[in-house]
Structure 1
Amino acid sequence: MVNLTSAYEELADVYHAGVGADLDDPTFDALVGDLQGQRVAAVACGQGRDARRMSDLGASVVGIDASVSLLAHARRLEEESPRGIEYLHDDAQELDRVPDASFDAAVCHMALMDIPELEPTVRSIARILKPGGWFAASIIHPCYKTPADGELIDHVDGSTRRIVGRYFDEGPFNSVTRLEILPRVTYHRMLSTYVNTLTAAGLPVVEMVEPVGERPVWQAVPGLLYFRCQKA
């Protein structure tokens, strides 16, 4: 088993205070759809925001995370407002504590880009899914948030444009633009790497969503990418 550590561990309290206990993401809700009667694994669930949301949408949920401190927040919230969610301390890259073919679905909300190894993660997710199961995830958009990115102000009309660079430089990088409540080290991968790795693991993408953001610069290009895969 890999060493159970998380970049969020030392930031857990600040992160929880900053993002709160509830997940309000209509795009993700629409992507997962009706969850009545489904058993769902919330992989890299942190303090359980996505786990609680999946439960509210009708699923029976197990939340999984490598951070002991974030899971402590999740379990406390479960005690305060019971939903029947089980929480496991496990690493998404192996999911050693999860039996094969034990879930109808799995979700991973805004976490895949913070997990060091993508290939074993998606293979582990594919392994725990039943035949015909599905996987839904959201990430920062790999095409528009890269190891060298920023914003350029047009001094003629005052508009802001997104600029990107080093797209082909895959691997960890120190993201100076990330909020202080998030780990600075994240992992950049090309869009093709995500799609090809998921397909090789038996999880071909069947739907992608690139929502329009609130700020003008994110109305010109997407800052987030959502996708749903179907187990082959």
Structure 2
Amino acid sequence: MGAEIDVAKHWDDNADQWTRDVRAGFDVYRDQFTFPAFLDALPTIAGLDVIDFGCGEGTNTRAFAKLGARVTGVDLSSRMIEHAKSVEEAEPVGIRYHVTSYSDHCGLPDSSFDAVVSTMALMDGPDLPGAMGEAYRLLRPGGFILFSVLHPCFITRGLGWEKDAEGRTSGLRVAGYFDRSTFTEQWRFGNRPKDEAVAPFSVPRFPRTMSDYLNAVASAGLVITNIAEPQPSAAACQTYPRFSRWRDIGAFLLLVMATRPNS
């Protein structure tokens, strides 16, 4: 619980600037790569009861609702939920939001959802097995979970780009893959004007290996049905040439789909 309180505080502190940046289009990785890849992997959700783990300020949550789902969003950050609710109040799409953990009993009934979705959030929570257990509890038999995270094999604390003699990016250095010690990363959206005086976000990280992710899913009783490592589209790489590093050299994104068995 102490770790979750710390995570909530960080995201409460980040929430106002994060919301402004996301809604101003500065999160180009989300807009041009990670969320389109998620939607490509997402089965039809029209008419389904869907819960979004780590919904943040609600941009992606609203996209799910506009696909025809009945959506609930949960997040530890009360400030993020305030931002999400403010848009829902102004432009209702039927989303219910709750300030709660996705890694513990969230107060919603057992077997009340057809799908659990989570976009780039589970790597920022301290209890992945708890999250998978809660997903299993909330899913109806036959329901599914689809989540995306930073790829654990390539996004490590020792990440660095290698250059050739002409200064072109030629390789990716990873290090500390098995170092699971928690750390707090300071960063801001790279698409921002470089001379703009904006404090960096402070984001707690909980490094895990590929086996940590997959075993947490399986140990909860969920059955893995698909794993994907999407590459940025050619159009995205043309618009943002730095994306080509994640097309040609290493994987940025991991997507995992699993189902709750019918029996």
Q: Normalization by structure 2: what TM-score? A: 0.82
Instruction: Tell me, yes or no, if structure 1 residue 221 matches structure 2 residue 240.
Output: no
Q: Structure 1 residue runs of 4+, over 3 Å off?
A: 1-5, 21-24, 174-184
Q: How does 1:2-151 map to 2 (within 5 A)?
A: 6=8, 7-20=10-23, 24=31, 25-151=35-161
More helix by share: 2
Q: What is the distance in 1 between the residues matched to 2:149 and 2:218?
A: 17
Q: What is the distance in 1 between the residues matched to 2:67 and 2:24?
A: 16
Q: What is the distance in 2 between the residues matched to 1:128 and 1:146?
A: 31
Q: What is the distance in 1 between the residues matched to 2:202 and 2:259?
A: 30
Unaligned runs of 5+ in 1: none
Give per-residue Cα distances to partners, 1:54-105, cap 9 Å, x unaligned. 1011100011111110000000110121101111111111133111111011
Report the alpha carbon displacement of residue 47 of structure 1 after superposing the two structures with TM. 0.8
Report the alpha carbon displacement of residue 157 of structure 1 after superposing the two structures with TM. 6.2
Q: What is the distance in 1 between the residues matched to 2:69 and 2:52?
A: 11
Task: Determine which of 162, 178, 182 is the counterpart of 1:168.
Answer: 178
What percentage of residue pairs aligned between the two structures are identical? 31
Unaligned runs of 5+ in 2: 190-198, 238-242
Question: Is the CA contact 2:49–2:69 (under 8 Å) kept in the aligned structure 1?
Answer: yes
**AA partner of residue 28 (structure 1):** F
**AA partner of residue 151 (structure 1):** W
Change beyond 3 A, Cα 1:111–1:183: farther
Q: Normalization by structure 1: what TM-score? A: 0.92
Larger mean CA deviation between 24-33 and 134-143 belongs to 24-33
Change beyond 3 A, Cα 1:178–1:184: farther
Question: Is the CA contact 1:147–1:165 (under 8 Å) kept in the aligned structure 2?
Answer: yes
Change beyond 3 A, Cα 1:151–1:178: farther
Larger mean CA deviation between 215-224 and 178-187 belongs to 178-187
Change beyond 3 A, Cα 1:66–1:184: closer
